[in-house]
């Protein structure tokens, strides 16, 4: 039996009912037999990153424990994205749902299709602000920098606005 690992996932949506997409994603993560959501951040509205004109995102970070390997977790979150109609057509384009594995315990991994920690998270305030909220000021594996230090250096802090929305986190019984 595998020992549970603490993971942090970044969730974002900028198409359709953004809040509902995030809520459904959290519910589907929680319903997975090998994922237990432990904390959810506040929800932030953020200006999109990249060259494509598109609506603002709602973003949040989820802390969870899982017995899945990094590759199995990636497969699980991609299945959730597909169930919520994620279409991958334009890099950094609009999407109903995006789930990124930000951190997988202390693991540093670089392989085709999966890099841990997430390769751009340390530059993005829309990831670092909610990550700091759920993870505290932890050190980022590989770089050794703290979340707070990276947030202070992030170039896009002004584009992140806390919303009044709250995520319902219903414990799974069973």
> 160-162 and 98-104: which strand pairing?
unpaired
Q: Which residue has the tokens 């996932």?
A: 9
Structure tokens, 113 = 């299709």
Straight-line distance from the first to the last Cα atom of the chain, in angstroms, rounded to the nearest whole number:
19
The catalytic residues are: 86, 95, 98, 100
Q: Give the distance between the most distant pair of CA atoms in the chain.
A: 47
What's the half-sphere exposure (Cβ side, CA atoms, 13 Å) at 108?
Answer: 6
Structure tokens, 70 = 């990094």
Assign 3-state DSSP to the chain and report helix, strand, coil percentages, each to 5: 30, 25, 45
- Integer Cα distance of 28 and 35 in angstroms: 10
Class of residue 152 by CB neighbours under 10 A (exposed 0-12, middle 13-18, buried 19+): exposed
């Amino acid at each position: 039996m595998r020992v549970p690992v603490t993971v942090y996932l970044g969730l974002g949506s900028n198409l359709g009912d953004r809040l509902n997409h995030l809520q459904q994603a959290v519910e589907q993560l929680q319903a997975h037999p090998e994922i237990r959501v432990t904390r959810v951040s506040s929800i932030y509205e953020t200006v999109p990153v990249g060259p494509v004109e598109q609506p603002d995102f709602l973003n949040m970070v989820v802390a969870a424990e899982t017995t899945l390997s990094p590759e199995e977790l990636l497969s699980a979150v991609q299945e959730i994205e597909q169930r919520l109609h994620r279409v991958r057509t334009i890099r950094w384009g609009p999407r109903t749902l995006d789930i990124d594995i930000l951190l997988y315990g202390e693991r540093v991994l670089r392989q085709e299709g999966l890099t841990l920690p997430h390769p751009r998270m340390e530059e993005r305030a829309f990831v670092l602000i909610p990550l700091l909220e759920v993870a505290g000021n932890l050190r980022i594996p590989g770089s050794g920098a703290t979340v707070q230090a990276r947030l202070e250096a992030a170039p896009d802090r002004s584009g992140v606005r806390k919303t009044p929305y709250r995520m319902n986190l219903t414990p799974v019984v069973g």
